Amino acid sequence: MKELDLLNTNEPAKAEQNWISKKELMNICKCSDKTLEQIISSFNIEVDFDIKNHIKKGGYRNLEVFYDDYLVRLIQAKLLSNKANQGNSSDEIKELVANAVKNELTKTLTKEEIRIELARNKTLQLQSKAQIESSKAQIESSKAQRQIVTEQERTKREQIRYDKEEIILKRKEVEAEILRQQNIKKALKIKSFTEPLKKELKSMTNELAQQAVQAEYTKKLKELDADGKYMLYIFYNPTNPTIYKIGKSNSLGNRLAVGTSENPNLQILYKRWCSCQMACDELEDTIHQELREYNYKNYSETGSNEWFVLTKDKLNDIVNKYQFVEVN
């Protein structure tokens, strides 16, 4: 193995650097500035690390050059190797120098291995930390996913509960509608049974009412005849209240009964008692002569001598003038 092959080592950690000036190194190694520059230039070609990382400037106005311990040892080893390779050195000296160089580089390699191991451990720690962070992230992601699933399940349960309540409400509405339809059917059945009874009751009511009216009418006719045989009367029809019948009768009740048989709406308004038949005849004729211009025959060919078209005022004049009495 060549001596320079021993110098092909990895660069040590800068944390252990101690610096020595170029002048101090020249004094220690008993070499010139040119020799140091040549050795350093050879390192740039022969070794696989950056020499610049082991050299710095400082001192007054930053003009001095400093080397770190690692580069100093390499320079010393290189100087020893150069001296050993000179012809005036014995084989024993060459071997000692080679061993010294080897031992020095071995120390350097050991430190470099330690640095590499530390760097590897640090890398492993970083990887482990990264794995831990990744695991934490996965755990958080899983937790978030579980929360999402839980929320989805809760939402689903809420929807199911809402749907169930909706179904119950719809069912109640349907049941209420069914009950309503059943009640309608029952009511219709009851109506079908009670309708004939209602009609019969109505018929009975009407019959009783008619009987009551007839009884009242008969009573009224008797009352009319109770005043005497010779009577003047004033009839009218409510369906045509401007037309009045003024006549005489020996039986006012019977006359009204006959008149209502021909005209059911006929009613008596006023009556006047006469002392005898002749008095009735004369009074009737007097009133008819006075009202001849109001006779209904003037308005209709079907009219008679006893029907007159009168206003309320004219009727009141006749009633007051000839002392007619209102019939209640």
Q: How far apart are CA 168 and CA 171, in angstroms?
A: 5
CB atoms within 10 A of CB 247: 20
Phi, psi of 301 (to 5 degrees): -70, -20
> Residue 98: pLDDT above 70?
no
> Residue 299: pLDDT above 80?
no
Query: What integer pLDDT is reported at residue 5 of this predicted model?
Result: 40
Sorting pLDDT into bands at 50, 70 and 90, what band is 294?
Answer: very high
> Residue 264: pLDDT above 80?
no
pTM: 0.35
Beta sheet of 64-68, edge-to-edge order = 19-21, 64-68, 55-58
Query: What integer pLDDT is reported at residue 147 of this predicted model?
Result: 87
Query: What integer pLDDT is reported at residue 214 of this predicted model?
Result: 60
Query: What integer pLDDT is reported at residue 213 of this predicted model?
Result: 63
The predicted-structure confidence for 18-56, as pLDDT tens digits, reads as follows: 899 989 888 888 888 888 888 888 877 766 567 888 899
> Residue 283: pLDDT above 90?
yes
**Residue 280 burial by Cβ neighbours in a 10 Å radius (0-12, 13-18, 19+):** buried
> Quick one: which of 279, 309, 276, 312 has its CA closest to 293?
309
> Residue 93: pLDDT above 60?
no
The predicted-structure confidence for 183-231, as pLDDT tens digits, reads as follows: 877 766 655 556 666 666 666 667 666 666 666 656 665 665 555 678 8
The predicted-structure confidence for 242-257, as pLDDT tens digits, reads as follows: 899 999 888 777 777 7
Residue percentage of the chain with pLDDT more than 90: 14
Residue percentage of the chain with pLDDT more than 70: 68
> Residue 107: pLDDT above 60?
no
Q: How far apart are CA 284 and CA 324, in angstroms?
A: 12
Query: What integer pLDDT is reported at residue 39 of this predicted model?
Result: 86
Query: What integer pLDDT is reported at residue 227 of this predicted model?
Result: 56
Axis-axis angle for helices 69-85, 91-226 (nearest 10) = 150
Query: What integer pLDDT is reported at residue 311 of this predicted model?
Result: 93
Written as one letter, the residue type at 218 is T
**In this structure, what token pair is assigned to residue 61?**
């106005």
> Residue 129: pLDDT above 90?
no
